[in-house]
Amino acid sequence: MTGIIDYNAGNIKSVERACRAIGAEYVISKNPADLENVSRLIFPGVGEAKYAMGQLKKSGFDTFIKERTAAGIPLLGICLGAQIVFDFSEEGDVPCLGLIPGTIRLFPPEMPSQGFKTPHMGWNNISLAPENESNIFEGINDGTDFYFVHSYYMAPEDESYVTAFAEYGGRFAAAVKKDRVQAVQFHPEKSGLPGLRILANFTQTKAGNPLFREGGSGNTSGESKNA
């Protein structure tokens, strides 16, 4: 069973639709006690880091997430949820959960003058890091497109945590992993079949799923982004 954390700062409906599409068993709750017995956690997020951290503390999810991940429960952070698993965010200058060493940084202010609008919004391909493979990218081709919306980017303390990179006015971490905590800057729930494959890999629901049959669309690429 997968638990989806609802802390009033998440893209809950889109994540729920994606989980339903892949046939994942899930429960959504604003109460940490309801998620005590799940086998993995999805931690979505949209909005501003300081507000999100305030909501986590108010609900008790800040302590819950730290305790459950320390106990070995896998966690997948998405977009803002990916960012606030780090130590600190420049967005509101706020300390975060500290599950992955590093800082969330604002894209350089000169980027628009160089032809790169911020926020970074739209489809962008990723480069997988072969030296740090992640199970969530099983069946995903190098160069696959995913959907991004962000003005801040993940800057891990150690590049060995990075499982995928993207380019936008320079290279940045698109996905990271430390122990059983994984985080993706893009929105898998808005990224067509490749995004569904990532969620299926994480929730372990791809077996027998016709979306991911061998030789079909399961070996995903950017061509399937409009699915």
Give the domain CATH number at 214: 3.40.50.880
Beta partners for 140?
220
pLDDT in tens, 41-86: 999 999 999 999 999 999 999 999 999 999 999 999 999 999 999 9
Q: List the beta strands (DSSP E) in 46-204.
A: 75-78, 86-89, 94-95, 100-106, 120-128, 145-150, 152-156, 162-167, 171-178, 181-184
Residue 111 pLDDT exceeds 50: yes
The model's confidence at residue 11, banded by pLDDT at 50, 70 and 90, is confident
Q: Which residue out of 16, 19, 79, 150 is catalytically annotated?
A: 79
Q: Residue 214's pLDDT is what? A: 52
Q: Is 187 a catalytic residue?
A: yes
pLDDT in tens, 165-210: 999 999 999 999 999 999 999 999 999 999 999 999 999 886 557 6
Q: Which residue out of 16, 91, 96, 187 is catalytically annotated?
A: 187
Q: Is 189 a catalytic residue?
A: yes
What does the H/E/C string look like for 24-72? Answer: CCEEEECCHHHHCCCCEEEECCCCCHHHHHHHHHHHCHHHHHHHHHHCC
Domain with 207, as residue range(s), is 2-224
Q: What's the CA gap between 198 and 201, in Å, rounded? A: 5
The model's confidence at residue 215, banded by pLDDT at 50, 70 and 90, is very low
The model's confidence at residue 10, banded by pLDDT at 50, 70 and 90, is confident
- Overall domain count for the chain: 1
